[in-house]
Amino acid sequence: MSEGWRVELRGRLGALTVDVSFEAGGDPTVIIGPNGAGKTTVLRAIAGARTGLEGRVVLRGRTLMDTAAGIFRPPEDRRIGYVPQGLGLFPHLSALDNVAFGCGRGAEARERAREVLRRLDIEALADRLPHAMSGGERQRVALARALAIEPEGLLLDEPLSALDVGKRRQTRALLAQHLQAAERPALVVTHDLRDLLVLGGEIVVLDEGRVAQRGSVEALARKPATELVAELLEPLG
C-alpha cells in the first residue's frame, strides 16, 4: 500500500504488551479505543520517539523504521506532521513563528504560515505567545503548524479535544477539507465519535495494545467483533 501507512509494532511497555499491525490508505484513518489501549504509544513510535517498540513503519513506500534491518529514521527525517496531546508549542515564539518554524526561513516561510493560520480562521492570533491563548486556540495553532510543513503524512492525537463545541465543529470541517485536498495519509486518535463521521476513512480499534477490529464505521457498527467495539460505537447507533 504505497500511498499510505504500513505499521507493525510490538513490545512491552510497563504493563502494556503492544502487538499492533495494520495498513491504512490515503484517506484519514481514525484510531479509537479505551484509555490505556496504546493509541498515543503507537503514534509516538510512528513519529520517531524511541518507545522501545520493535517492528516496521512504512509511509508511502518509504521505510521509516525497520528494527530487523537496522533502520531508524530520526523524527526530522520522517516528514510527518505531528500534533501530540501536549501540543509541543514553543512558549517563547508567537503563533506565526511557531507555525513557520518547520517551513524554513525568511518571508516565504512566514507567508506560508500566515496562509495556514488564515485557512484555520486564527490569523488574529499571529502575534500572540502561547501563554496568551486559550487551550483551544493553542490546539488550533498546533494543528496549523503540523499542516504548514506539507508533510508526507499526519499524526493527530486528539487534535480537537480542547475546542468548545462551536469551534470544534468548524475546525473539524476545515480539517476534513484540508485532509481531502492535501491527499496526505493521516492517522487521527480521537474520543469524539463525531470525528469518525466527518473525517471518513476507516477505523482502527485498539484494545490492550492490539487491534480489536478495523473497517468502516458502517461495517463495525453492523458487525462488531467484540463487546468493546459494540460499546464504543453504540452512541452512533
The set of cell numbers assigned to 12 is 512491552
Vertex 104: Cα angle to 114 and 29 (nearest 5):
70
Residues in the chain: 237
167 vs 204, more confident: 204
Question: Which tens digits make up the pLDDT trace of 28-83?
Answer: 899 999 999 999 999 999 999 878 899 999 999 999 999 999 999 999 899 998 98
Distances in Å between the Cα of 76 and the Cα atoms of 70, 71, 151, 185 are: 18, 15, 11, 18
pTM over 0.75, yes/no:
yes
Distances in Å between the Cα of 187 and the Cα atoms of 125, 159, 184 are: 27, 11, 10
- The reported pLDDT for the residue numbered 45 is 95
> Once rounded to an integer, what is the mean pLDDT over residues 190-213?
88
Residue 158 has pLDDT above 50, yes or no: yes
Q: Residue 141: helix, strand or coil by DSSP?
A: helix
> Once rounded to an integer, what is the mean pLDDT over residues 153-180?
80
- The reported pLDDT for the residue numbered 1 is 47
Q: Lowest-confidence range among 132-136, 162-166, 201-205?
A: 162-166
Measured CA to CA, the distance from residue 41 to residue 34 in angstroms comes to: 13
CB atoms within 10 A of CB 90: 12
Contact status, residue 116 vs residue 151, Cβ threshold 8 Å: no
The DSSP letter of residue 33 is -
Contact status, residue 100 vs residue 112, Cβ threshold 8 Å: yes
